[in-house]
Amino acid sequence: MTGCRWSKVILSLIFLPLLAGCWDRLEIEDRAVILGIAVDKVEGKTEAGTTNSSHLQRTDLPLKQGLLEITVQIAIPGRIPLGPGGSGEQSNKPSTKPIWVLSVQGHTIDDALSNLQQQLADQLFYGHLRVIAVSEEMAKSGIQNLNDFFRRQPQVRRTAWMVITKGRASDLMRTNPQLERVPTLYLQSTMDHAVEMGKFPNDFLGMFWSSLSARGREGYLPYIELKKEGNIEIAGMAVFKGDRMTGKTDALSVGSYMVIVGINPGGYHVMFPTPDRKSTFVFQGTHRSSKIEVAIRDGKPAFTVTVQVEGDIREKASENVKINKNTELSKLEQEMSGKVTEGLKNFIKKTQKFDADIFGFGEYVRAKKPGYWNRNIRTSQKWQEMYKNVDIEVKARIRIRRIGVKAT
């Protein structure tokens, strides 16, 4: 009996800590839930707009990077809509607004958010952060500090989106979209639906950080432009070299990227001229396949990219376009294959000028030619220098699967 009694005491002591699961609980009403964050640069280095909660003015700290402006969307408890409802006029009333937009300045991300915490009664909470918007000016100067801060935050989900904005990123936090009362949730839906429709790769925050950590790949982010009516346009891709934005592409180049790496589904509509150059038609790719091969030629890596795009003809600009015979379809496919091959080559050359291998060709060298990589490259900096001079051959084939109900 004594041994059994001691066993129960020991088991009780072992399981006792597991029963205290709510000792550090924090009610949701006591949290300042951040839905979106925008980061902009501030002209000049004055500290007039800061709270200085983390350092004294006139300090000897090497604060040479200037000031940042952080704009946040904070959810107001009980006002986030769970479904459609309420007119746009009603949602703009102060008493019914679901979010609170605040701006604060600081020398670093943590410094600015510390200043923000000084102005709030509730503790900042990043568990529901959906979008991080960075201005183009800020991205070109480097986002190493931003990446470092958010990668250290266990609350930040890797499925959040980081976007680069044309103009000030804070404007994105203050926009008023007609289809959603919460701007951040509307932007998140825009990106999620773009992935579903084949308009953009699934490049959420965790994927971007993985690309930055890879030695043979560079990162990219959605390039967003805010229109006059409050709608949001995915205007292209922001291309990075390390943590610094080195260039941007147009919207159609997003489709070119997805063709080269073989991401499905296809979602872009492309206008082509007819073989006789007298009219045009619109082709939509529905399925893509890609194969990338690497070989060592003259002491340098050389790549061959073979892609195939299948799709449908969606529109003819003129009734004179005849595409109802196999010979005519074959001629159209050859013409389109040549155009696509030329476009993909030009896009790859553009990324070479940026010194940014967003396709991951370097990772193919690491995987397929590890001996060559270890002897001649090893680092991401060396691959950045080598990438702009490597030979990349592109072979594209277009297949028309459907021509529509009315072919003649």
* Average pLDDT of the segment spanning 142-161: 94
The total of other beta-carbon atoms located within 10 Å of residue 371's CB is 8
Burial status of residue 262 (CB atoms within 10 A of its CB: 0-12, 13-18, 19 or more)? middle
Give the whole-angstrom CA distance, residue 318 versus residue 281.
Answer: 8
Contact of 221 with 207, CB cutoff 8 Å: no
Confidence of residue 31 (pLDDT cuts 50, 70, 90): confident
Give yes or no for residue 44 having a pLDDT over 70.
no
- What does the pLDDT read at residue 155? 93
Mean pLDDT is lowest, of 16-20, 21-25, 53-57, 312-316, for 53-57
Residues in the chain: 408
- At residue 330, the pLDDT reads 84
Domain boundary residue, one of 227, 248, 269:
248
User: How far apart, in whole angstroms, are the C-alpha atoms of residue 118 and residue 71?
Assistant: 15
Of 219, 248, 277, the domain-final residue: 248
Q: 139 and 155: one domain?
A: yes
| Domain end point (choices 213, 248, 283) | 248
Q: Are residues 184 and 293 in the same domain?
A: no
Q: Give the per-residue pLDDT at 58.
A: 53
379 with 271, same domain: the answer is yes
Tell me the whole-structure pTM to 2 decimals.
0.85
DSSP 287-325: EEEEEEEEEEETTEEEEEEEEEEEEEEEEES-TT----S
Mean pLDDT of 81-95: 51
pLDDT digit string, tens, across residues 261-274: 999 988 889 998 87
pLDDT at 90 over 50: no
- 408 assigned to some structural domain: no
Average pLDDT over residues 5-30: 71
Instruction: Look at 46-55, 74-83, 117-126, 383-392 and tell me which has the smallest mean pLDDT.
Output: 46-55
**Cα radius of gyration rounded to whole Å, the chain:** 27
Alpha helix positions (H), 31-143: 88-91, 109-117, 136-141
pLDDT of 136 over the 90 cut: yes
* Same-domain check for residues 244 and 256: no
Residue 391 sits in which domain range?
Answer: 252-402
Say yes or no: 336 and 218 in one domain.
no
Point out the least confidently predicted range of 5-14, 30-39, 163-172. Answer: 5-14
**Is residue 5 situated within a structural domain?**
no
Residue 297 phi, psi (nearest 5) = -130, 125
Domain assignment of residue 345, yes or no: yes
Separation in Å, CA 373 to CA 124, 212, 366, 377: 45, 18, 6, 5
pLDDT at 250 over 50: yes
Q: Are residues 115 and 195 in the same domain?
A: yes
Per-chain mean pLDDT for the chain: 86
Are residues 276 and 180 located together in one domain of the fold? no
Q: Are 372 and 383 in contact (CB under 8 A)?
A: no
The domain tally of the chain equals 2
Q: Among the listed ranges 70-74, 182-186, 240-244, 400-404, which one has the minimum average pLDDT value? A: 400-404
- Domain assignment present for residue 240? The answer is yes
Q: How far apart are the C-alpha atoms of 28 and 33, rounded to whole Å?
A: 8
